[in-house]
Amino acid sequence: MSNYIAIKNNQTIPLQSIPVLKYEDILSLNTAFLTDESKHCVNYFGYKVRDKLKLVCCVADDKDSTILISSSEINPADGIYPSFSAKHLAFHIFERELHENFGIEYSDHPWLKPVRFANNRVNINSQIENYPFYQIKSEELHEVGVGPIHAGVIEPGHFRFICNGEQILHLEIQLGYQHRGIEQLFIEKKKLLQRTTLAESVSGDTVAGHTTAFVNLWESLCGYKADEDLKFSRTLALELERVAIHTGDLSAICTDIAYQLGSSVFGRLRTPVINFFQTWCGNRLAKGLVRAGNNHFYFSRQLGGQLEKLFDAYEPDYNEMWNELKNLPSALARLEKAGVVTHEQASSIGTVGMAAKASGVIRDIRLSHPHDLYSHINHEPIIKNHGDVYARTQVRNEEIEQSIGYIRRILQNTPEENKNRKSLEAPQPNSFVLSLTEGWRGEICHCAITDEKGELIHYKIKDPSMHNWLALALSVRNNEISDFPICNKSFDLSYCGHDL
């Protein structure tokens, strides 16, 4: 018998079919998986089963499009456990979460710090104002604290720098300020519309990404096969969101290097794209658009024609601005060689999405675990190898062009609306399901577990930011502290997606 079960993206399986291993076996199995760069951990979490804690580890095999699921049952009070993270750093954030929420003690975890000060944490005495920052005792060095509230209109998080003069030696990022208890609310709020609304609010800049992950998961759990027009609108929303946010990010990157022209032009180029979402579904950030087993906003041919016209106007202005930026020495001087994440670093800490692709690590769910229309698109990820701010900027630029190409292509075959849609059945009992999507920031993973009545008993969300915040912290080492804003913006990570 195998000690794991291999499933496809959005496949629902009986809970019993997941092999239950001894702790040392789940440890050796999953850490051995990750010695191969084509495998990476998409989720590793725990939930209470009677008086035990059940651990579920999900490792995606990018080569054969499967996700390898294994589990174990432990009692956290039983003692101290060896950590996965000592063997592979990519597990560090998951084990920190297990430590914070369930009190598992690890003997050899390299960085067992609080994750988000969740309201249901075990140690209620661990308070956000007393985060145990790493310190270096030296008269030569000084510390700089930034946040939680930042200078601009952005979400809160605290950055603590240890600097030698202008140079950053170390950055520690403390999060948790945005914690709203969203995973618990998925269980408590029983209506599908409430859960969909929650999915839309995981991270309000990735509405299409998170909501598509949720509805694909939910439809699988209910044994529902989505019609072509539903798949079409989800794929279109994901790609449109990518174009919109990448364009906005290019504007913000220009702002952070004080390049006013780029900031204004990319900023105004984003406007028609998000306004198109409003034309389509009544909301500039696509809230209300993606629904399980339903779509109130059929994407007509007429809308398709409007979108093509929009891109006809967008592309020349965009290209003109990009060509100016990429040939501007004063801009390149700020972007190149700043905030470098090496391939080795990116791979070892489990970086995903755009940040991974800019460091030469191929992580793209659209290629490795396609869902909706992606299996027809034959996606080829944009890969850059320098790992610097400019590489992440280039990935955005090329992804914008690529996504517009995909959108133009799928618009050739706008499916008819299915007017006699089946309704959703109840979720299957005693089941496990996992859903992956590639949001503009990177891989999003949602997992759900149901009880014998088909009620949700556990819901787990992983935003790409969970992995990538550490990449930001590593990228700024040995950079000037004045380059921090531009490094930060080049990742554009989510605080609320991390804090949940």
Partner 1 sequence: MIGNIKILFHQGKQFIPDVTRAEVPGIFRGRPEISNEPVEVNSLAELCPTGAIAANPVSIDLGKCTFCGECAFAYPGKIKFTKDYKIATNYREGLIIKEGENNPVSLNPELIRKEISKYFSGSLKLRQVSAGGDNSCELELNACGNVNFDMGRFGIEFVASPRHADGIVITGPISENMAEPLQICYDAIPDPKIIIIAGTDAISGGIFAGSPALNRDFLKKYEIDLYVPGNPIHPLTFINGVLELIRRRK
- For binding to partner 1 (CB under 8 A), which residues are involved? 117-120, 128-129, 148-149, 151-156, 176-182, 184-185, 189, 191, 193-194, 196-198, 201-205, 207, 248, 261, 264-265, 267-268, 271, 275-276, 278-285, 287-288, 296, 316-317, 320-321, 324, 494-496, 499
Nearer to partner 1 (CB atom), residue 19 or residue 267:
267
Q: How far apart are CA 244 and CA 253, in angstroms?
A: 14
The nearer residue to partner 1, 62 or 249, going by C-beta atoms, is 249
Question: According to DSSP H, which parts of 350-482 are helical?
Answer: 353-357, 365-368, 374-377, 389-411, 465-475
With beta carbons less than 8 A apart as the criterion, state whether 30 and 86 touch: no
**Minimum CB distance to partner 1 smaller for 1 or for 151:** 151
Q: Which is closer to partner 1, CB of 59 or CB of 354?
A: 354
> What CA–CA distances, in Å, run from 163 to 135, 342, 347, 351?
11, 21, 26, 25
Q: Which is nearer to partner 1, 127 or 413 (CB)?
A: 127
Do residues 292 and 423 make contact, with C-beta atoms less than 8 angstroms apart?
no
Other CB atoms within 10 A of residue 294 CB: 13
| Token pair belonging to 42 | 């998409």
Contact 203, 340 (CB under 8 A): no
In the complex, the smallest distance separating the C-beta of residue 81 from partner 1, rounded to whole angstroms, is: 27
Q: What's the min distance (Å) between Cβ of 336 and partner 1?
A: 21
| Helical residues (DSSP H) of 350-456, grouped into ranges | 353-357, 365-368, 374-377, 389-411
Smallest distance, partner 1 to C-beta of residue 311, A? 16
DSSP string, 35-64: TSTTEEEEEEEEEEETTEEEEEEEEEETTT
Q: Based on CB atoms, which residue is closest to partner 1, 82 or 148? A: 148
Residue nearer to partner 1 on the CB measure, 1 or 316? 316
List the structure tokens of 81: 């456990």
CB of 74 to partner 1, least distance (A): 26
CA–CA separation, 117 vs 125, rounded Å? Answer: 10
Determine how many CB atoms are found less than 10 A away from the CB of residue 320: 11
Contact, 62 vs 362, CB < 8 A?
yes
Q: Which is nearer to partner 1, 100 or 499 (CB)?
A: 499
Tell me how far, at minimum, the Cβ of 297 lies from partner 1, in Å. Answer: 8
